[in-house]
Amino acid sequence: MPDVNLEKNPSFDPTKALSPEYLISQESDKVMIQDWCFDITKIENPHQKSRMVWAILQDINLVSEYKIDLSILCNFIEKMRYEYSKNNNPFHNYDHGLSVLHATYYLMTRTSNFDKLTNLALLVSAFGHDAAHTGRTNQFEANMQTELALTYNDRSILESHHASTSFKILRQKDSNILG
């Protein structure tokens, strides 16, 4: 991975929620997302991690194409971060969601010629693919007859849960980046 300066923003306050001023891209963002070996776990600042979502959407002009309001994007990112973090899952966590988002972006921009709407759908899906993961398998959920297993009738329990979680965030006016 290229040597990139990841100094913390001097105005960063970890007690504040993500806001548009944290999304201002830096040249290092583009360098990082263009590298297949980009490792999100090397970034400690949660706002810098979240800025990678914006950098990816911005790099292929989806923010301007779909007129995504930056405050709404911030809310969307923060809600996804919360959902990935609430179960304290050591693998299916926010870093994992960002890594899959990055891998999808990287492969998509080098191997396909999808239209902008498909690109947006792929990236949102990649980002939310494991949101609110319980840390358990579908089989465990079914065997234990958990609420999730009952809700999804033992079929693709976790996959349905992740999709539902993402859609619930997107249905909220303050985090609906799809407009």
Query: What does the alpha-carbon distance between residue 129 and residue 139 come to, in Å, rounded to a whole number?
Result: 18
Active-site residue flag, 161: no
In this structure, the number of other CB atoms found within 10 A of the CB of residue 114 comes to 13
Position of tokens 């911030």? 74
Tokens matching residue 12: 């960063």
Contact 79, 175 (CB under 8 A): yes
Q: Which of 92, 96, 133, 162 is catalytic?
A: 92
- Any idea which residues carry the catalytic annotation? 92
